[in-house]
Each structure stands twice: as C-alpha cells, then as structure tokens.
Structure 1
C-alpha cells in the first residue's frame, strides 16, 4: 500500500484513503456512488487511482472543459450515469445589475458565511453582469432559503436550465515549457516570466496559493492537476508533466489565465 502513497503528497494521504475506500465500496456493493465537488487536483488523484479499472468506471460532471470543480460518479461497468445522477443544480443570481456589481470573492464569501462547506458547491461563473453557481442538489434548497444577500445587496437565486448556462469570461492560454525542477519558485518564474528571486519573494510574502491553500515553502513540489494563484499575476494550472528532456529538464504543459 505504501507504493501508492509515494505518488502523492503526505497531506493528501487522507484523501487518497477516502478514494481507495470509495473504490472498494463500489466493488463490494456493486452499486454506483456520488462524490462531492472535487477540485482539479482531487480529480487527478481520483483518476489516477480509479480511472482505467476494468470493472469500475469513472465519470465527471459538469462536462464543460472550462469547469474546474466537478462531481464524480464511481460505478460498476454496467452502470451508465445520466446527468441527473450527478445531482448538480445551476442557479443564477438575480440582483439589481444597473446599480451594483457582484464579484466572485463576494459570492464565495457569502456562501461560506451561511455555513456551506466548499465541497458542496462548484464553480462560480461570471460573464459580464451575469453570475451563476453550481450547487449540490442536497443543499440547494437550504442555500436558496439562506442566501438572501451578497455584501449589502439583496439577491434571489433562480434555478436555470442547462441551455441557459453561461461560459466563464476566463480564457486559459495553454503552453508547453521546460523547467529544471518542479519546485514552486521555479515554475512561477517560468510561467509568469519573472526572476526566480521575484518568485521566491512572492511565496515568502504569503501571496501564493496552490489548490486554494497558502504555500510559503519555495521548494514545494508541484504535480499534475495543481492550480496556482499568485496575487497580481492571476492563476495557472499544471495540465501535464510530460517527462524529461535529453538535457534532464522537465517538460510540462500549463494553462495560464489571460
């Protein structure tokens, strides 16, 4: 079992254990199970541990490539999940758009302030003045009842159809680069075209997060699926670690938010 853990970080052991239990439960009960919303790194771990199994299938939803957080159905090979099996509802925020502007952090803060766990809601999508969010069906009525305002603005949530979903304003540029190591400071330097000293100053200054968690260790090693954010520089994500070059450098594929 220890051979499995060596592929992941120490602080991911609890999540790895949970995924292994999910897999065993699906095998034992021969029935599908539904996860909470998973961030891209968690999806990568689930895919690594379950994807490609002969007797177990793995499906993520929402399907749109621009979506970051998804729910997963882990199921025996006989089961083909339909959209309703993922139990995801989409809501649009109704607010006086002519008088106020609502930003992503305000929506996130308001959802957390009503006691919601982050894994119970997915992406918050903003496009021009429209704002939509993905909620787990089991808490959607509670949120609809409790979320009456964002900041000082009175709001209402209205459920929408899939055909009414908007796409994010965010545009990811994909690029391939080579780096001497997968250290956080090295990748920050390469991705944002800044000096390594500047990258280290950002990390030490407490303005860099990996997978939405503050990281102040410059030698923190990145892996596939990691989402990086650096204040003032935006977000990026490690799409793939493609292996070593002849000069022993790492070739990686990254997505950078415009």
Structure 2
C-alpha cells in the first residue's frame, strides 16, 4: 500500500525527510534531532514510526501542552534526557505598565532579526515577563540581536526550566454539525461568520491551516488540523464523531481564548 495516499501532497517532502531519518537511525545506529515541529508534523512523525520496537521517538517543548516541539529519534537502547533535545529557556522582562506585548509582537521581533521559525518553540507572556523555548545553537545570536520589542527594550537571558511560567494556552471545546469538512464550511461554523465572509477571508490570504496559508475554499481539513484566521484567532479540529442520519459531519473543535 502506498503510504503517501494517507497524506496531502504538500506533506510529501516532510514524509520523505522522516523516512530518511528512520532509515539512518535504523541502519547506522545514530540519533536524529529535529527542529521544532508543529502539531501536524508531530502527528505525521508518530504515524510513520508507528510501534517499531527497534526505535524510540520522543518530543519536548517544555510546557506539557506545548504546540511546537523538537523530536528525537534514536535506537531503542539509547537514553533520552531533557538535555538530548538541546533546547534553552530564555526570559526577558518588559514594563507592562507602559507597553502591551503580545505573542505576535515577540515572534515578529525574532523573525525580523533573521531567526527561522523552526528554531523557536512556544512563547509565554505573563506578568511582564516573556519566556520562549529555543534551539540552543541560536541562543547567543538571539540574545545579541533581539534587544527591543515594540517600544520596549528587552534583554533575553537563559533561565532554568524550573522557573517555567504557566502556559498561556487555554482552549475551549465545542461540538457542531456541518455539511462537509471544506475550509469555507468549517470557518463559517467555527468562527460564526457567513459563508461569503468565510470565502472573502480565504481569498485575501487571511487563513492558515497548519501554519500554511490556504487560498482554496474547497480544501478539506482532517482531524487534528490547526486553523487560524487573521484577527479572529485559532481553532483546531479535535475529533470527527461520525455522520448524522442526514449525512452531516459531527465534529468537536477547540478554540484558543
């Protein structure tokens, strides 16, 4: 059976990469550490490795509910520790009485400094402090080159994981019934907009599925997909719960507050 038939065409390069890592670990008995993977990539990785008893696959993103995590694939006999993931927790303070900093501001500052998204994990902002998990090999560059966010001067410093702040992720679960799993249909249902408004958002490039801009209204979502709409937040399709007697799809989805 062709395993590619279970995935989307745009995911084929990542599948090839995972299969290459698997072969390398299996035949050369080495470990492979990835950059930070988003949830869909993690799901694909797990499904391709399956229950192979000669291998072990672990993920780490610091927070229990972290979205982005590094993965390590090793022979079954290797010991995997937190240090195996080669990540660092960085923290910076900002004067929250004078400036409001959000997740997008922090990420924008990093990307503007030439840092690749795949080198960055999740970001938490609490009580005037920013925390971010990063690949250890960019720590020096990041602390040197990211010294301001919006109008605030910041200085990121390595911080022990024992000082990890609470996660900002708060998801609320909803149930719904929809006519199909098309992108426009699900935007209409999840964000409570009209079908025409959903189409406009898609055509303007305001919609991402698994962090990739999608401009096809007929694009079909799958269980576990992350959906984000500019200005309206993020949702994820948690579970498909079968069809109704009228052949409509029952779904459970979560929305990030």
**Structure 1 and Structure 2 fold alike (TM over 0.5):** yes
Partner of residue 7, structure 1: 6
1:254 and 2:253 are equivalent in the alignment? yes
Match of 1:6, SS state, is helix
Partner of residue 29, structure 2: 30
Partner of residue 203, structure 2: 204
Partner of residue 20, structure 1: 19
Q: Is the CA contact (8 Å cut-off) linking 2:94 and 2:128 kept in structure 1? A: no
1:142 and 2:138 are equivalent in the alignment? no
Cα 1:225–1:47 shift into 2, 3 Å: same
Alignment of 1:60-75 (within 5 A): 60-62=59-61, 64-75=63-74
Q: Which moved more, 1:31-40 or 1:189-198?
A: 189-198
Structure 2 runs not aligned, ≥5 long: none
- Work out the CA distance in 2 between the residues paired with 1:53 and 1:160: 36
> What value does the CA root-mean-square deviation take over the aligned residues?
2.0
- Work out the CA distance in 1 between the residues paired with 2:100 and 2:59: 32
- 1:142 to partner: Cα distance: 1.6
Cα 1:200–1:151 shift into 2, 3 Å: same
- 1:63 to partner: Cα distance: 5.4
Q: Is the CA contact (8 Å cut-off) linking 1:36 and 1:136 kept in structure 2? A: yes
Q: Is the CA contact (8 Å cut-off) linking 1:208 and 1:229 kept in structure 2? A: yes
Structure 1 runs not aligned, ≥5 long: none
- Work out the CA distance in 2 between the residues paired with 1:177 and 1:79: 44
- Work out the CA distance in 1 between the residues paired with 2:248 and 2:30: 44
Cα 1:113–1:48 shift into 2, 3 Å: same
- Work out the CA distance in 2 between the residues paired with 1:160 and 1:102: 20
Q: Deviations over 1:186-220 (max 9, x none)?
A: 21122223333332232223321212222221111
1:227 and 2:226 are equivalent in the alignment? yes
Partner of residue 162, structure 2: 163
Partner of residue 127, structure 1: 126
Q: Is the CA contact (8 Å cut-off) linking 2:33 and 2:73 kept in structure 1? A: yes
- Work out the CA distance in 2 between the residues paired with 1:247 and 1:18: 41
- 1:246 to partner: Cα distance: 5.5
Q: Is the CA contact (8 Å cut-off) linking 1:51 and 1:57 kept in structure 2? A: no
Cα 1:248–1:30 shift into 2, 3 Å: farther
Cα 1:94–1:129 shift into 2, 3 Å: closer
Q: How many positions carry a matched residue from both structures?
A: 257
Cα 1:195–1:144 shift into 2, 3 Å: same
Q: Is the CA contact (8 Å cut-off) linking 1:94 and 1:158 kept in structure 2? A: no
- 1:99 to partner: Cα distance: 2.6
Q: Is the CA contact (8 Å cut-off) linking 1:122 and 1:133 kept in structure 2? A: yes
Q: Is the CA contact (8 Å cut-off) linking 2:124 and 2:166 kept in structure 1? A: yes
Cα 1:115–1:196 shift into 2, 3 Å: same
Q: Is the CA contact (8 Å cut-off) linking 1:228 and 1:236 kept in structure 2? A: yes
Q: Which moved more, 1:204-213 or 1:246-255?
A: 246-255
Cα 1:102–1:81 shift into 2, 3 Å: same
